[in-house]
Amino acid sequence: HLQLQAYFVQCLPPGDCVLEQRFPRINRIADVAWLSQKIVFEIQYSAISAQEVMQRNQDYQKIGWQAVWV
């Protein structure tokens, strides 16, 4: 999990991403947030229901962000 987060930081433009970015308005913490593009990367290793994935996607969309799942 941490290695993949570090990989994203390495691949994205320097200074344009944040690890463990908090979004208090929707009570979520993104694994990696690409600030200028308003994209969050969710790195999911444990089991998660389709409903939870849809809910997280909707939550991010409410505040203008798009989620990409890895």
Residue 21: φ, ψ to 5°: -75, 125
Look up the pTM and report it. 0.89
Strand segments (E) across 1-70: 17-23, 28-34, 39-42, 66-69
Between 46 and 59, the more confident residue is 59
| Res 66: pLDDT | 98
Please give the helix or strand (H or E) that residue 60 lies within, else none: helix 50-62
Residue 2, pLDDT > 90, answer no
